[in-house]
Chains A and B, each alone.
Chain A
Amino acid sequence: LAKTTQPISMDSYEGQEVNITCSHNNIATNDYITWYQQFPSQGPRFIIQGYKTKVTNEVASLFIPADRKSSTLSLPRVSLSDTAVYYCLVGVFTGGGNKLTFGTGTQLKVEL
């Protein structure tokens, strides 16, 4: 079971880079790592996904070491609007579908 572990909370200031690390020691060979962002009273939304090494999009970067037992979401130059809960997700293939279980997430608070 590819359970994920993240810090419960992180604090940062505007303009700083924020790195949130997720541990997934039991990740299966073919599984991807996906990160979501959730604001209060909304459903989570997809941020970034990767399998290995580094992935970058207009919002974030995702770093995955060779052993794939962890991943790091990097948010460059955060602003107040990045205050949200961030979830790391690794699915478990059941033979029929992918069981997509979220962890408790990381509450990021950005201040001036």
Chain B
Amino acid sequence: DVKVTQSSRYLVKRTGEKVFLECVQDMDHENMFWYRQDPGLGLRLIYFSYDVKMKEKGDIPEGYSVSREKKERFSLILESASTNQTSMYLCASSLRQGRSNEKLFFGSGTQLSVL
């Protein structure tokens, strides 16, 4: 089975801190994604990456950056955490199969609280 591991289940940070959320997948997937999920808003795509060092903006990239130095690892960076970034963050990966017929495999999520 594909395993997508997020480094922390719960994280508490202070406003203005630089925050790193790490995600590792063990199935040699080309694609990796970061979403945030807030009550009533569903999952919103922050960034995705389709290859090492390649990244594309999702729907809500403001206030975030990402890093993909190795195929198995995709990091989400909050440059200066703010309270409105308190959320559940979900990482996913998928095997590149063509035009959107890929299947996403999700991690368990990181609940980030910014105080």
Contact = CB atoms under 8 A, between A and B. Distances in A.
Interface of A: 28, 30-32, 34, 36, 41-46, 49, 51, 85, 87, 90-94, 96-105
Given A44-B43, A96-B54, A99-B48, A91 B106 contact: no
Nearest to A27: B100
Contacts, number: 90
Given A87-B42, A102-B45, 6 more contacts: A43-B108, A44-B90, A97-B48, A100-B48, A101-B59, A105-B43
Interface string B1-44: 00010000000000000000000000000010101000011111
B99 interface: yes
A98 B45 CA distance: 12
A96 B31 CA distance: 10
A62 B48 CA distance: 27
- Interface residues of chain A: helix, strand, loop or mixed (majority): loop
Interface of B: 4, 31, 33, 35, 40-45, 48-51, 54, 56, 58-59, 90, 92, 94, 96, 98-109
A58 to B, nearest CB: 16
A32 B99 contact: yes
B104 A46 contact: yes
- Interface residues of chain B: helix, strand, loop or mixed (majority): strand
A103 to B, nearest CB: 6
Contacts of A97: 31, 48-51, 54, 56, 96
Nearest to B111: A41
B104 A44 contact: yes
A3 B39 CA distance: 20
Contact of A43 (B42, B90, B103): B90
A87 B43 CA distance: 9
Contact of A99 (B56, B98, B109): B56
